[in-house]
Amino acid sequence: MNPLLPDMQQTLALLDNMQPDTHLLHVLHALQEALQCIPPAAVPAIAGKLGLPISQVQAVIEFHAFFHQSPRGQYRILFSNCPQCGFQVAGGNLLQHLRSLLHVKGDATREDGRVSIAETSFIGMCDHGPSLLVNGLPVSGMDMEKLDLLAILIERQTPVSSWPAEWMRISERIRLPGLLLQAAQLKGEAVQTGLRLGAAGILHELQQSGLRGRGGAGFGTAQKWLMTRDAQAAKHYVVCNADEGEPGTFKDRALLHLHADTLFEGMTLSALCLNAQHGFLYLRGEYRYLLPHLLDVLAQRRQQGLLGKNILGHADFAFDIEIVVGAGAYICGEESALIESLEGKRGIPRVRPPFPVTHGYLGYPTAVNNVETFLAAAQILRHGSEWFRNCGTAQSSGSKLLSISGDCARPGIYEYPYGTRLAQILQDCGADQPQAVQLGGAAGTLLDPGQFSRTLSFEDLSSSGSLMVIGQQRNLLALAQNFAHFFAHESCGFCTPCRVGSKLLSQYLDKLAAGHATCIDMELALQVCNTASLYSHCGLGKSIGNPLLSLQQYFPQLMAQCLQPDSYTPQFDLDAALFEARRITQRDDAAAHLANDYRHAHS
Ligand code: SF4
């Protein structure tokens, strides 16, 4: 028995204090928060409490990167390994430095149970430089000196709440506000208009505005709400996807922080339109620290008569919103995986059709939109469709929020009318002759300077909102390699083209980055990209080849330079790998080495 594991009495006492209808993810978060892990022996008790199969509870724990069944440290540190703002800095490797200061080996928890340190991908702090999460709280602007102090605080067991307040303060860097960010927060004005117009009027106004979903796919919002509303069922649901996990994106953090009222107003409008009584906001696990603020805003809206029963005095309008917090699974940003997760299952994307508009949460019609879309819908009802339509292009009305990070003088959040050229955006954020731009995160596209005259729009360059500026000094292969590992880690494993393909691609990218790849490796890697794109079950698998394909398309010379002239080279240097064997046997004569002719004969 592990002496660090909490005893069952403690676990059962915590479970006793929870309501039986508490969401599984909340139960798991709460147990882990209190006990530093979810003890294996607690799984049957959790299942019994919630009336779920034991296998389902166990599967959900194993599915999420943030849940652990062996004790993590009293201080749980998660380092972002983003290639742009991660732990590799000019002065060295921050992660290694901290591990060595605190005597932590790899991901293991230190023997005294004080601290554990692990890597994670993209914690939504790319505009704040190297950052980490300590017990779920963001600590930004890390450097070697700050880590020295952080290690002292941990060794002295200083509670995180007593750490320097400025470390935890997240200043939202709104560099260029536009239509949505300049508009005042809404506290019932749009709902009031919606009540006056009725469902048909709301849909008409949204249709006229041309609003399309801001997640990247660009499906018409009015059309989605109409399809959900028209699906005959006893109940309808509204879901806000606040699980932005695309590398390089952090705009939702600012929206949830500064515009939560307007977001909830948009969800309430949607409910009015669909005749829904229940809504969910699915919050990214990395943003769990925003939960108290969001719950406060919800409570205020209930007090103001903007949520709950009799909204704004209308006896036939009742709606409320529940927040469910994820736990480090990128795939849960996919809408059907998100719905599975809301249902307390693993976030495996569903077979579609049927689509959520007819068969969503618990099989009921469900409208899923992201944070920015709900915000835009609310402001359209407040200001009118013309206000929105007058901004942007014919097919892309309105504005788009961008999270801009990387090698530029002014990282932060920018809001542009659709149709703005990439060159203008780069000039505004102070990007000095970048060698490339990664638009749309890992699943997006790497663009060379020849593409900078293109425009941000659904008809040209569509983006979910992440723009990473890549300076001349950066290694583009290392970036693609990081994304390949990201996909291999985040693949849910349901279908073979993605599960196996993402692993193979990460190996090919390792070989390419190490300078051992040949044109045959490249051909094979491109075949994997093609197979994954054609046969994967969901968008994640279809995108795993994008980093390599973009490199091939826009940087063919770089790719050609990286390839070995031979038809085949092994992934590593076999002769060098035998060094240890030669040392132990005290032989270093020619016969103990692999001869060149041997290597070629086997290549
Ligand atoms: Fe899962 Fe990848 Fe298949 Fe999507 S494509 S279902 S993430 S294995």
> Of 170-184, 337-351, 391-405, 560-574, where does mean pLDDT reach its minimum?
560-574
User: Is residue 495 in contact with ligand 1, taking CB distance under 6 Å?
Assistant: yes
pLDDT at res. 309: 96
Q: Which residue bears the tokens 């103001």?
A: 304
User: Is residue 536 in contact with ligand 1, taking CB distance under 6 Å?
Assistant: yes
- How far is the C-alpha of 471 from the C-alpha of 411, rounded, in Å? 13
What integer is the mean pLDDT of 329-350?
Answer: 96
The burial of 79, by beta-carbon neighbours within 10 Å (0-12 exposed, 13-18 middle, 19 or more buried), is given as buried
For 66-69, the CB contacts below 8 A with 24+ separation are 66/32, 66/285, 66/327, 66/328, 67/28, 67/32, 67/38, 67/327, 68/32, 68/36, 68/37, 68/38, 69/37, 69/38, 69/39, 69/40
Ligand 1 center to residue 530 CA distance, Å? 15
User: Is residue 494 in contact with ligand 1, taking CB distance under 6 Å?
Assistant: yes
Strands 399-406 vs 412-417: parallel, antiparallel or unpaired: antiparallel
pLDDT tops 90 at residue 212: yes
User: Is residue 491 in contact with ligand 1, taking CB distance under 6 Å?
Assistant: yes
| Closest listed residue to residue 243, CA positions, set 210, 290, 202, 282 | 282
- How far is the C-alpha of 562 from the C-alpha of 516, rounded, in Å? 8
> Considering all CA atoms of the chain, what is the largest pairwise distance in Å, rounded to the nearest integer?
91
Model pLDDT for residues 351-381, shown as the tens digit of each residue: 999 999 999 999 999 999 999 999 999 999 9
For the chain, give me the number of helices (H) and strands (E)? 26, 16
User: Is residue 385 in contact with ligand 1, taking CB distance under 6 Å?
Assistant: no
Query: Average per-residue pLDDT in the chain?
Result: 92
Ligand 1 center to residue 328 CA distance, Å? 16
Q: How many CB atoms lie within 10 A of CB 27?
A: 22
pLDDT at res. 6: 62
User: Is residue 349 in contact with ligand 1, taking CB distance under 6 Å?
Assistant: yes
Ligand 1 center to residue 529 CA distance, Å? 14
pLDDT at res. 202: 98
**Residue 603: pLDDT band with limits 50, 70, 90:** very low
User: Is residue 121 in contact with ligand 1, taking CB distance under 6 Å?
Assistant: no
Ligand 1 center to residue 229 CA distance, Å? 29
Cα–chain center distance at 167: 23
pLDDT tops 80 at residue 286: yes
Ligand 1 center to residue 499 CA distance, Å? 7
In the Cβ-directed half-sphere of 41, how many Cα atoms lie within 13 Å? 12
- How far is the C-alpha of 584 from the C-alpha of 588, rounded, in Å? 10
- How far is the C-alpha of 183 from the C-alpha of 188, rounded, in Å? 14
Q: What residue's CA is closest to ligand 1, atom 1?
A: 492
Ligand 1 center to residue 354 CA distance, Å? 18
Residue predicted with more confidence, 88 or 264: 264
Q: Using DSSP, state whether 603 is helix, strand or coil.
A: coil
Assess contact for 263 and 371: CB atoms under 8 A. Answer: yes
| Closest listed residue to residue 191, CA positions, set 301, 111, 47, 65 | 301
- How far is the C-alpha of 290 from the C-alpha of 371, rounded, in Å? 14
pLDDT at res. 582: 87
pLDDT at res. 2: 55
User: Is residue 329 in contact with ligand 1, taking CB distance under 6 Å?
Assistant: no
Q: First vs last Cα of the chain: how many Å apart?
A: 50
User: Is residue 342 in contact with ligand 1, taking CB distance under 6 Å?
Assistant: no
Going from the C-alpha of 272 to that of each of 123, 202, 236, 317, 534, the distances in angstroms are: 34, 9, 11, 7, 39
Ligand 1 center to residue 351 CA distance, Å? 11
Ligand 1 center to residue 527 CA distance, Å? 18
Identify which of 348, 529, 536, 542 to mutate to test ligand 1's pocket (most ligand atoms within 8 A of the CB): 536
pLDDT at res. 12: 84
pLDDT tops 70 at residue 231: yes
Helix (H) / strand (E) element for 574: namely: helix 574-577
- How far is the C-alpha of 461 from the C-alpha of 67, rounded, in Å? 37
The sign one gets for the Cα dihedral 432, 438, 441, 442 is: negative
What integer is the mean pLDDT of 456-478?
Answer: 93
pLDDT tops 50 at residue 600: no
**Residue 122: pLDDT band with limits 50, 70, 90:** confident
| Closest listed residue to residue 120, CA positions, set 81, 77, 147 | 81
Strands 75-80 vs 132-134: parallel, antiparallel or unpaired: antiparallel
Model pLDDT for residues 376-434, shown as the tens digit of each residue: 999 999 999 999 999 999 999 999 999 999 999 999 999 999 999 999 999 999 999 99
User: Is residue 540 in contact with ligand 1, taking CB distance under 6 Å?
Assistant: yes
**Residue 591: pLDDT band with limits 50, 70, 90:** confident
User: Is residue 99 in contact with ligand 1, taking CB distance under 6 Å?
Assistant: no
Length of the chain in terms of residues written: 603
User: Is residue 333 in contact with ligand 1, taking CB distance under 6 Å?
Assistant: no
